[in-house]
Amino acid sequence: MVMATYRRLVWRHLPVMLAGVLAGYIVGCNKPAVRRTLSLQHIFASTGCTDTAAGEQTVAEQTVAEHAAAAASHPAENRAINAALVALVRNSDLFGLRKTIRQIEDRFNARHNYPYIFVNDVEFTDEFKHGVRDLTRAQVHFGTLDNDSWKVPEWIDPEQYALVKKTAQYPHGEKDSYRKMCRFQSGYLHHHPLLRNLDYYWRIEPDVEYYCDMGYDPFVFMKEHGIKYGWNIAMTEFMATVPTLWNTTVQFVSEHPEFIAHDSLWQWMVDEQGRYNGCHFWSNFEIVDLSFYRSKEYQMFFEHLDKAGGFFYERWGDAPVHSIAASLFLNASQVHYFSDIGYFHPSVLTCPSNARTRGSCVCDSSKSFVQNGLCTARFLQVKQAVISPNATAPAVSEPVYFAQPTIRTVHSYE
């Protein structure tokens, strides 16, 4: 049933995909990357990335085989990481969450026993707690949200907000709960008491699927390589939900240019004219060094966005907020594409194309179209231009097309 739904979604977007394929490498570019502390003019007026040509080795993400080999060289008892698998869920999500946990346990966590942390805006039922604990030997913690983190702030004008909800023409535009969820995931989840002592978290959701056995520990991999943010799917945002997010970001950066990382990925977020392109990492899958979200620059950025009111007057999502912050405040080497983790979130599938990695997966890579989407390809190009500016082999060797998100209905908060 899931794959039938997926096939229908692929057919729905097939004209867009074919148009992109016919257009060829629509994100290919031939302008030099800017590799220095960036002023507003540098960030938002510059465009392009380093030209590439065949003949030199490209900068590639590490393969799962290399990860596994590295893991094998470190005894498990020496790889303890203060990390957890975390989700914001409701009691009605029990069945979907059980499916997710079953797959995570089978693919990864049965060998590592990282704890699970679940938070809710109401108390969890005994049925929910038993239903989750029955699936894992790992510790499971349950918590609720405080009122301050799950409310419409007092600076939001009730009449203006009511009008926005009444007239919104985008997905979830009429919903309080969705906006509260996005605000909470953007600025409060990492401060919840149950997460306060964590160094890393892996965000999970109900009704998602993990297709590949993981022969290594992503938390260990991130720690050993100094990675702060890991992602798996990149798409463009519904631009009607974020009409002022970029300008609000520009305002913040103009006040705090010192926060921009020396080798940031800012060019990933703009088109050839320097305009915001809506590219963002889907935050339903993210593995994060929480020192990033707790950093001064991220916290001040969130507070600036929160005061601007866009979580409610518009419908800013936590995914573009996290993505903009990671692309501005982190160095390119600190942001990692977990291309070797097969993953499905309604209604998008990503499946490794590498033959060796694919052998440990149960997904069909021919049905996975996000790898060659504009946002993924642009990320790889910009990261290569920043880290290896002298590389001549293309970071992307397949035709690139525009991959647009569909309406997601998996989560009860939506």
| Residue 142 to residues 91, 116, 194, 354, Cα–Cα distance (Å) | 11, 9, 8, 38
Residue 186, both tokens = 């953007």
In three-state secondary structure terms, 127 is helix
Catalytic residue among 205, 237, 286, 297: 286
Exposed, middle or buried, 46 (CB in 10 Å: 0-12/13-18/19+)?
Answer: middle
Q: Residue 107 has what pLDDT?
A: 96
What CATH number is attached to the domain comprising 340? Answer: 3.90.550.10
> pLDDT, tens digit, for every residue of 110-165?
999 999 999 999 999 999 999 999 999 999 999 999 989 999 999 999 999 999 99
Q: Per residue in 50-83, pLDDT tens?
A: 333 333 333 344 444 565 555 544 444 444 799 9
Q: Is 150:120 a contact under the CB 8 Å cutoff?
A: no
Our answer to whether residue 286 is catalytic in this structure is yes
> Identity (one letter) of the amino acid at 368?
S
pLDDT digits (tens, 9 = 90+) for 306-328: 999 999 999 999 999 999 999 99
Pairwise pLDDT comparison (375 vs 393), residue with the higher score: 375
Comparison of pLDDT for 179 and 30, the residue scoring more = 179
pTM metric for this prediction: 0.82
Lowest mean pLDDT among 123-137, 224-238, 339-353: 339-353
74-89 as b/e: b if 16+ CB within 10 A: eeeeeeebebbbbbbb
Contact 397, 282 (CB under 8 A): no
- Residue 405 falls inside a structural domain: no
| pLDDT mean over 193-211 | 97
Q: Please give the pLDDT value at position 23.
A: 34
Confidence of residue 210 (pLDDT cuts 50, 70, 90): very high
Show the domain range for 33. Answer: 2-387
Residue 197 in domain? yes
Q: Note the pLDDT tens digit of each residue in 13-43.
A: 434 333 333 333 333 333 333 333 344 445 5
- Domain assignment present for 143: yes
Mean predicted confidence (pLDDT) in 380-391: 92
Whether residue 189 lies inside any domain: the answer is yes
Report if residue 403 sits inside a domain. no
- Cis omega before residue 347 (within 30°)? yes
Chain centroid offset of residue 413 CA: 18
**Per the domain annotation, does 399 fall within a domain?**
no
Per the structure, the count of domains in the chain is 1
Q: What is the pLDDT at residue 67?
A: 54
Q: What is the pLDDT of residue 275?
A: 93
Rg of the chain, C-alpha, whole Å: 21
Asked if residue 202 lies in contact with residue 219, where contact means CB atoms within 8 angstroms, the answer is yes
66 domain-assigned: yes
Q: Does residue 411 lie within any of the structural domains?
A: no
Mean pLDDT to the nearest integer, 341-365? 83
Mean pLDDT value of segment 355-374: 76
In 3D, which of 132, 119, 91 has the Cα closest to residue 184? 119
Q: Confidence band (pLDDT; 50, 70, 90) for 390?
A: confident
